[in-house]
Amino acid sequence: MTKPIILNAAELPEWTHAELRALFTVLDLPRDPSAIGAFLHEHGSKVRGIALRKTKIDAAFLDALPALEIISSYSAGLDNVDIQATRARGIRIENTSHILAEDVANAAVGLALAVTRDFVNADAYVRSGQWPVQGHYRLGRSISRMKVGIVGLGTIGSAIAQRLSAFGSKLAYFGPSRKAIDIPYFDDVVRLARDSDMLILTCPLSPATHHLIDANVIDALGPDGFLVNIARGPVVDERALIAALAADKLAGAALDVFEHEPEVPEALIRDRRLVLTPHIGSGTEETRRAMAENVVDALAKHFDVEGPRGRAVVDAELESTG
């Protein structure tokens, strides 16, 4: 039987590529951007699936793939995919938000604790020998007594809400629509910020959320407020954030993502009120392996081929995510 032809447009672990090659006829997208057009012109009509990570899939790219049925993405975010064009074509999209939600939520809570309790600077205080000389360290803030606004209550946001509920935080959320849950909903992010001690950002990046957190939102959060971003860097207007910090309009921020990463503004690096991590929200060995496995498993299920983890296992895993 002829194997389905898929396009490999992702840098994935080598074992993942081996699994893909065992199940499918794999065409590797050229790394040279100037060669992509000719490659798609020659091979695009045969491609039925894509293994994706960061490659930009716009309407023109999709037009070159008339037989495309499914995009299986390693990432949770789909800001590199033209969702409207994909939906118009009836192309199925599988991502990994259901897989990485737990570890990203753990990272978000860890960042929230680190910035409110000043753990990073406290660590340096001990290591530098200041404790015996300077005495007790300054007091932090308690997230158990905070009002926390979650911007984007999807799979990841819901996992964060579950954890913060256990801490005792008072929760509210902002999103495009109200959900059938017992958490207060705000249809305006400025009003949510005004009513919160901390904002945690988990929303996807889209034209509607680009620079969603601007000077108005930061001003509403106020000089005693905290910002945690484990979504995408451009959700925050970085210039507005830097200006607010310079004017002492924010107590602190914990950022795992940046507007032009991996480049990080010197003003953020120098500011000791910030906790900065290099986009590691889902960065555990267990979750990253599961994300790579899902790229293969989703394609295997779609094309009804026996995957490396077995068809029954794949069916159960995907059905459990809804």
Q: How sure is the predictor about 313, in pLDDT bands with cuts at 50, 70 and 90?
A: very low
Instruction: Look up 279 and say whether it is catalytic.
Output: yes
The boundaries of the domain holding residue 107 are: 99-276
Same domain, 80 and 113: no
Cα–Cα distance, 230 to 107 (Å, whole number): 8
What pLDDT shows up at residue 319? 46
Write down the H helix ranges in the chain.
14-23, 33-43, 59-63, 83-88, 97-117, 119-127, 130-134, 155-167, 189-194, 215-221, 238-246, 266-270, 285-302, 311-320
C-alpha closest to that of 310 among 10, 93, 318? 318
Which own/partner pairs from 234-241 qualify as long-range (CB within 8 Å, at least 24 positions apart)? 234/205, 234/210, 234/259, 235/151, 235/201, 235/203, 235/205, 235/209, 235/210, 235/211, 236/201, 236/211, 236/212, 237/211, 237/213, 238/265, 238/268, 240/211, 240/213, 240/214, 240/215, 241/213, 241/268
Domain count, the chain: 2
| Positive or negative: CA dihedral 16, 18, 19, 20 | positive
Say yes or no to pLDDT of 215 above 70: yes
Least confident residue range of 117-126, 199-208, 299-308, 313-322: 313-322
DSSP string, 134-203: H-SPPP---GGG-EEEEE--SHHHHHHHHHHHHHT-EEEEE-SS--SSSS-EES-HHHHHHT-SEEEE-P
Same domain, 30 and 110: no
Same domain, 259 and 292: no
The catalytic residue among 17, 48, 232, 288 is 232
The predicted-structure confidence for 126-166, as pLDDT tens digits, reads as follows: 999 999 999 999 999 999 999 999 999 999 999 999 999 99
- Quote the radius of gyration of the chain (alpha carbons, Å): 22
Say yes or no to pLDDT of 317 above 70: no
Same domain, 20 and 88: yes
Least confident residue range of 1-10, 32-41, 299-308, 310-319: 310-319
First to last CA, the chain: 31
Angle between the 119-127 and 97-117 helix axes, to the nearest 10 degrees? 60
Q: Residue 143 is encoded by which pair of tokens?
A: 């997230």
Query: What average pLDDT does the segment 121-125 reach?
Result: 97
Instruction: Look up 260 and say whether it is catalytic.
Output: no
Same domain, 26 and 139: no
Same domain, 32 and 84: yes
Q: How sure is the predictor about 295, in pLDDT bands with cuts at 50, 70 and 90?
A: very high
Do residues 50 and 24 make contact, with C-beta atoms less than 8 angstroms apart?
no
Same domain, 200 and 89: no
What pLDDT shows up at residue 312? 39
Domain containing 175 — which CATH number?
3.40.50.720
Cα–Cα distance, 113 to 166 (Å, whole number): 14
The catalytic residue among 191, 279, 309, 311 is 279
Say yes or no to pLDDT of 236 above 50: yes
Between the CA of residue 5 and those of 70, 119, 222, 292, what are the distances in Å?
11, 50, 53, 19
What pLDDT shows up at residue 77? 84
Total-model pTM: 0.89
Same domain, 174 and 300: no
Instruction: Look up 285 and say whether it is catalytic.
Output: no
Same domain, 122 and 256: yes
Q: What are phi and psi of 186, to 5 degrees?
A: -120, 130
Same domain, 143 and 221: yes
Residue matched to tokens 């969702």: 83
Same domain, 163 and 265: yes
What pLDDT shows up at residue 136? 94
Q: How sure is the predictor about 241, in pLDDT bands with cuts at 50, 70 and 90?
A: very high
Same domain, 68 and 137: no
What pLDDT shows up at residue 292? 95
The predicted-structure confidence for 16-63, as pLDDT tens digits, reads as follows: 999 999 999 999 999 999 999 999 999 999 999 999 998 999 999 999
The predicted-structure confidence for 51-104, as pLDDT tens digits, reads as follows: 999 899 999 999 999 999 999 999 988 889 999 999 999 999 999 989 999 999
- Average confidence score pLDDT of the chain: 93
Strand partners, 173: 150, 185
Cα–Cα distance, 49 to 42 (Å, whole number): 16
Percent of the chain topping pLDDT 90: 91
